[in-house]
A and B are shown apart, each in its own frame.
Chain A
């Protein structure tokens, strides 16, 4: 875990003090709402349908138990006892009071956390692979690179008023668990024949109104120089991004308009100017940061074989654990998707229980996934049964990772002012209906957004659902064939939309047709769709 140095802490403490004063002045009417709104947004505080909503940054989705306990404390003390983990690996609280924000932010700062850069046209919280440093398939831990980006981008004056929000994801594996092709910048650690580590740079991906996949603009960037190269990308964007039109302001539009090759050329040109300025840190600084992320001391004699005679436990191990770098260890994903529950919501008690488990069994680390689940990254296989029993008692042992009921959903019209339709109830109904057959269906990623902004990643869903407004009524479009993984594609709309019950039936029809078309048990829905195209599904749904 990265620990704040005196500079990090001073920045966060100063920000808390500054915002305390701003809130006081607003409450005394010394500043107008017009002047205050951008200030509160810079501190992660939105006004939603029922109350203020606070989005707390979880850098690269990594927490320690002390921080997760603080998130639980905040849920209890300032909210209604729960929080919502988001697709950007952050947490949102739905029932915030402006007058309590200064104390809340001071509480957060006491555990090296804050809420800035979770809103506005700046470089947002950096996201990463939830299995970082643990996955067997990884080249290197991406988080030191993400952490340096965090430090570089924190309150960076030149990049605080970009044309539009800017999202960066970093991964260290070919298996893409961070959706790097759907970010403004995606970075992938790669290794050359000499065994050196570099970065592959992708630019111009994103969801929302105009979804696009990112383009590779550099196959190999020496890690020693990556920060100046990032600066060059941001400069080209800051100069040419479309500030005149909010719908065309993301970097993806610029990359698309210029063409990836021309964009890359301009970045190289800018880089030639930026690089000599000496922004890149000496290798010792990157090494200092990397040392913070060293995995805990692992048990070299951890047994690989464990007792799997309890069938329910064995199933959970198969579905919700991943191979670990270290023999005798596993990566555990804790599903926040019990069918019928709200995807991504966790109660304060559940957070405390998971924090205790992390401290006792998992190197004191917890990760948040973009699929709105939590991860224990360093678990001895021999401890899995004990952990599973605790999770089961807390309603957290659902064995459904990447299956039909592991649905991503944004808050939608139940909370969000921008929504056209409710997304959570759709996810709940689908999860309950599909759970009984999900083991047969295999990997199936369903993603629901309540409006075109696409916070629920519907364009990256094997099955995507988008809430729209149809003459004042909630209506849902069905999209098929998306993926946010290494085989990324954008889902396409199948046909006319449905009402709340209609969309559930339509998804069931799609799945029934898939079962008749499937080449074998190994063929995922996505593979079948790619093989046969949309027509058979159109016929099943509308025919």
Chain B
């Protein structure tokens, strides 16, 4: 099963997705880390710039990554009760 690396930016709290060489605000940019996940974590943790670094399970779907847990889908999209905050490309229906 594919895995993504995610966390919250220290300065702003923004939800971030690991996009291969840097972080992105958008789930669609995420790159699966698969077997490299632990090594990446071990490298990024001591840098202390991203909070709550976590590897999460996702499914690859025709519409892109779909996190397995509701919690991570809510993180990716935004509060389901504020559709006005969600991106058109990732609406609350994706939760």
Contacts of A48 in B (CB 8 A): 13
Q: Name the contact of B85 in the complex, choosing from A52, A80, A96, A98 (C-beta under 8 A).
A: A80
- A97 and B11 in contact, given A47-B51, A50-B75 (Cβ under 8 angstroms): yes
Q: Is the CB of B10 within 8 A of A419?
A: no
A389 at interface, CB cutoff 8 A: no
Contacts of A49 in B (CB 8 A): 15, 71, 74-75
Q: Is the CB of A424 within 8 A of B13?
A: no
A67 at interface, CB cutoff 8 A: no
The complex places the Cα of A99 from the Cα of B14 at a distance, in Å, of 12
Q: Is the CB of A415 within 8 A of B13?
A: no
A120 at interface, CB cutoff 8 A: no
Contacts of A473 in B (CB 8 A): 70
B24 at interface, CB cutoff 8 A: no
Q: Is the CB of A99 within 8 A of B12?
A: yes
Q: Is the CB of A414 within 8 A of B11?
A: no
A selection of 20 A-B contacts at a CB cut-off of 8 Å is A33-B10, A47-B8, A47-B13, A47-B51, A48-B13, A49-B71, A50-B15, A50-B78, A51-B14, A95-B13, A97-B12, A98-B10, A98-B12, A98-B13, A99-B12, A414-B81, A422-B70, A422-B81, A425-B80, A425-B81
- A33 and B12 in contact, given A49-B74, A415-B79, A474-B70 (Cβ under 8 angstroms): no
Q: Name the contact of B51 in the complex, choosing from A27, A33, A94, A425 (C-beta under 8 A).
A: A33
B59 at interface, CB cutoff 8 A: no
Q: Name the contact of B69 in the complex, choosing from A29, A94, A96, A472 (C-beta under 8 A).
A: A472
Number of interface residues of B (CB under 8 A): 23
Q: Is the CB of A413 within 8 A of B15?
A: no
Most chain B CB atoms below 10 A, which of A29, A50, A80, A428: A50
A376 at interface, CB cutoff 8 A: no
B62-95 with Cβ < 8 A to chain A: 68-71, 74-75, 78-82, 85
> Whole-angstrom distance from the CB of B92 to the nearest CB of chain A?
10
Q: Name the contact of A414 in the complex, choosing from B14, B48, B69, B74 (C-beta under 8 A).
A: B74
The complex places the Cα of A51 from the Cα of B78 at a distance, in Å, of 10
> Whole-angstrom distance from the CB of B51 to the nearest CB of chain A?
6
The complex places the Cα of A52 from the Cα of B51 at a distance, in Å, of 11
A74 at interface, CB cutoff 8 A: no
Contacts of A424 in B (CB 8 A): 79, 81
- A32 and B11 in contact, given A49-B74, A80-B85, A428-B81 (Cβ under 8 angstroms): no
The complex places the Cα of A414 from the Cα of B4 at a distance, in Å, of 21
Q: Is the CB of B79 within 8 A of A51?
A: no
Chain B, residues 13-39, CB within 8 Å of chain A (1/0): the string is 111000000000000000000000000
Q: Name the contact of B70 in the complex, choosing from A26, A99, A413 (C-beta under 8 A).
A: A413
Chain A, residues 18-41, CB within 8 Å of chain B (1/0): the string is 000000001101001100000000
